[in-house]
Amino acid sequence: MLQKNLENRAKLLISCPDRPGIVSAISNFLYKQGANIVQSDQYTTDPEGGMFYMRIEFDLNDFDTAFPRIQSEFLPIAEDFSIEWRLESEKRIKKMAIFVSKEDHCLLELLWKWRSGELIVDIPLVISNHPDLKETVEFYGIPYYHIPVTKETKAEAEEKQIQLLKEYDIDFIALARYMQILSPSFVSEFPQKIINIHHSFLPAFIGANPYQRAFQRGVKLIGATAHYVTDDLDEGPIIEQDVLRVNHQYTADQLKIVGRNAERLTLARAVTWHKEDRIITFGNKTIVFS
Catalytically active residues are 234
Rounded Cα distance between 94 and 71, Å, is 19
- Give me the phi and psi of 114, to 5 degrees please: -65, -45
Which of 109, 123, 118, 86 is CA-nearest to residue 289?
86
The dihedral formed by the CA atoms of 27, 28, 34 and 39, expressed in degrees to the nearest 10:
10
Whether the upstream peptide bond of residue 184 has omega within 30° of 0, thus cis, is no
- State the DSSP code for 208: S
DSSP code string of 77-114: HHHHTT-EEEEEETTSPPBEEEEE-S--HHHHHHHHHH
Give the Cβ contact number of residue 84 at 10 Å: 12
**Environment class of 24 (CB within 10 Å of its CB; exposed 0-12, middle 13-18, buried 19+):** exposed
Residue 261 CB contacts under 8 Å (≥ 6 apart), including other chains:
105, 244
